[in-house]
Amino acid sequence: MTIDKTLQTIVELDQKHYLNCFGTRPPLCIERGEGVWLYGTDGRRYLDLIGGIAVNVLGHNHPQLVRAIADQAAKVIHCSNYYYNSPQTLLAARLTKLTGLDRVFFGNSGAEANEAAIKLARGYFYKQEQPRRQIVTALQSFHGRTLATAAATGQPKYSRPFAPLPPGFLHVPFNDQKALRKAVSDKTCAVMLELIQGESGVHPADLEYIQLARILCDQTGARLIIDEIQTGMGRTGHFLASQLYQVKPDIVTLAKGLGGGVPIGAVLANETTSSGFVPGDHGSTFGGNPLACAAAMAVLDVYEKEGLVAAAAQRGQQLKRALHDLHEQYPHIIKDVRGVGLMLACELCEPQAAAVKAAMMTRGYLIGSVGTSVLRLLPPLVLPEESIAPLIVDLEAVLKEVVS
């Protein structure tokens, strides 16, 4: 691939000035976006099947979102939480109605939302004068990159260099009911789970496992925290994946798609658990700012107007069916197809994910990967049906060319 002059300049500046957290990136500098398409400084357009890692739920440059951001920016972008601002309060009321929970606090990211959830659960038992601090999480989970969320994450590679970590987290095998039963006791503060483990390869939880977590929390009084940073906002064909699993958490965390690209995170809780915070226990300078909340309100407006939750379910079924057809044709190339809605994975038999990604990029597709053998698809919820057939044709060609 020819490197354009703009990209070359950006790469040189990046290598000189930016902390090396992302390694060697593909030779592409994004210039603008329109719908499900991203345009590079090389003049080419690419079908965005990463969606900013489940962030760009409306695609790019959605007119209603752009207008809401511009209108709010013309009024006030930021004000201190010493005072009320209407976008914050209106968004809080709307999210509690959509989720069935009672109260919300806004931060700026998924990690911040999960930090707040951890603090809220521990604060709840502190207020009850009960010494319950331990939080049970799953191996291969991912909850963030701050110290506490990295400690909660069940993948040591994310936390090993940064010890000592905050104590009080117990990791158990995912989908192992026996291990979960053994781990949860009357000393447990909370059980914190993802319903689909995205960062370990898109592995859905078993229905019985999640329902058992709810039962164990009810029996012991522990709080059930469901991390919906990636599965929330309709990506699974339900506004919350916990609705799909027929469980009602005590605490839910949201981020990624909530702002449609504008940074915002949220922790929601039922009334009982909300007593874990009193004034001064938690806060955020930027959390709940008018601009981010206005953007999130616009995202929810578009969801309602365009029926995007139902669209995610329908488009996800179509895309998954097409991938399953490829799997049946090429079982020696594709090991597994899994996921729910528009959170899908295609696992290869060989560790060729990077090569497939690169080859697909030359054909005009941006796809994600996990590890060395899993391709991950997290497209915008506005993905058109007519984009699926050519995608599958090109993916088939690349798999035959690169893998076989």
Task: Give how many domains the chain has, as a whole number.
Answer: 2
pTM of the model: 0.97
Catalytic: which of 106, 119, 174, 227?
Answer: 227
> Quick one: which of 29, 11, 38, 22 has its CA closest to 366?
38
Task: Based on the fold, state whether residues 168 and 104 are members of the same structural domain.
Answer: yes
User: Does the active-site annotation cover 227?
Assistant: yes
User: ∠300-228-373 over CA atoms, to 5°?
Assistant: 115
User: Does the active-site annotation cover 256?
Assistant: yes
In a domain, 269, yes or no: yes
- Determine the pLDDT at residue 403: 82
> Quick one: which of 352, 309, 314 has its CA closest to 334?
352
User: Does the active-site annotation cover 357?
Assistant: no
- Determine the pLDDT at residue 1: 47
Residue 342: give the domain boundaries: 5-19+48-61+307-386+394-398
H or E segment to which residue 104 belongs: strand 103-107
**Cβ–Cβ < 8 Å for 299, 331:** no
Domain's final residue, options 278, 306, 334: 306
Catalytic: which of 119, 256, 320, 357?
Answer: 256
In a domain, 362, yes or no: yes
CATH number for the domain spanning 378: value is 3.90.1150.10
- Determine the pLDDT at residue 3: 60
- Determine the pLDDT at residue 2: 52
Domain's final residue, options 289, 306, 323: 306
**Cβ–Cβ < 8 Å for 259, 291:** no
From first to last of the 404 residues of the chain, give the pLDDT tens digit: 456 889 999 999 999 999 999 998 999 999 999 999 999 999 999 999 999 999 999 999 999 999 999 999 999 999 999 999 999 999 999 999 999 999 999 999 999 999 999 999 999 999 999 999 999 999 999 999 999 999 999 999 999 999 999 999 999 999 999 999 999 999 999 999 999 999 999 999 999 999 999 999 999 999 999 999 999 999 999 999 999 999 999 999 999 999 999 999 999 999 999 999 999 999 999 999 999 999 999 999 999 999 999 999 999 999 999 999 999 999 999 999 999 999 999 999 999 999 999 999 999 999 999 999 999 999 999 999 999 999 999 999 999 999 87
Domain's final residue, options 286, 306, 326: 306
Catalytic: which of 105, 106, 125, 142?
Answer: 142
Distance of alpha carbon 106 from alpha carbon 89, whole angstroms: 10
